[in-house]
Structure 1
């Protein structure tokens, strides 16, 4: 396979993982936790970097995309460890902007917001959570990105 074919495969892999996460959220009704959202950003970066390489041929994008895949793999592995109780995860929560909400609207938002914990497994396949699968598949993508970078 050429560098371009490998880059297309890795770009498609990150795009598929990102779209899969969005489908679980919007079609499957599984609200993401804070760390789930963190894992999405590097995939988006890898897709953009892959597009830069595929459209402009800018080779440094391949190594940058490999780094993005490595970052999401690391976050996924950390998240899987939190789910298994091997270590503690973040204790903070996140919310949207509340500056222009009335007290009643703010209270309604608080009471209706889904409680999504980072230490609970929402879905798994073969005993591996979504975070674990992201870590595994993202490491495969790191290898594909690096193979693309090595090919001249």
Structure 2
């Protein structure tokens, strides 16, 4: 068995996978915040929803991983349930990102809602019209690489995490220690 196979075998154990899924979501969140802060690409409301999906996955992965390692020896059924939870949350992330990416590519129209203005007075609204603002549209990608937007890459990565999570749930008993 090669070193890569050994590492892949260890990382895809049901008692380890929740942490790996959480770390992948943490990396995607760090990338999103990096694009916003360093690259100056402000997020649209759908981008924010995608971040929440990864925040849920990150929290669930860390909590279930910690719980698994407090319950020494790890309960195999709980480990598989934790991996199934990661699969569901990664699927939700892929769905939210897919909705956004589909709108960006023109497959459907997006209803991108702005913030609540019910408590805004008419005077405050009129004075805000004098202040230049950068309106971020949900149906126009702020950044692309090889024709794929950030939401598109989020779909791809989240879908891969979901598929690996499903494989981990149905994986044969641990092959490595």
Shorter-chain TM-score above 0.5? yes
How many residues get paired? Answer: 151
Distance 2:101 2:40 in 1: 20
Residue in 2 that maps onto 1:70:
91
Q: What does the per-residue CA deviation read over 1:25-57, in whole Å, with 9 as the maximum and x for residues that have no partner?
A: 111110001111111111111111111121001
The whole-number CA distance in structure 2 between the counterparts of 1:20 and 1:107 is 35
Q: 1:14, 1:104 → 2: CA distance?
A: 39
Matched, 1:128 2:144: no
Query: Any idea what the Cα deviations from partners look like across 1:47-84, whole Å, max 9, x if unmatched?
Result: 11111121001533332221111111011111111111
Q: How does 1:59-138 map onto structure 2 within 5 Å?
A: 59=79, 60-94=81-115, 99=119, 103-104=123-124, 107-108=127-128, 111-138=131-158
> Which one has the bigger helix percentage?
1
Query: Which entry has the higher C-alpha Rg, 1 or 2?
Result: 2
Structure-2 change in CA distance of 1:110 and 1:38 (3 Å): farther
8 Å CA contact retained: 1:6, 1:147? no
What is the CA RMSD across the aligned residues, in angstroms? 2.5
Normalising by structure 1, what TM-score? 0.85
Q: 1:131 to 1:150 in 2, by over 3 A?
A: same
TM (normalized to structure 2)? 0.74
Deviation at 1:99, TM superposition (A): 4.5
After TM superposition, give the deviation of residue 149 of structure 1 in Å: 2.8
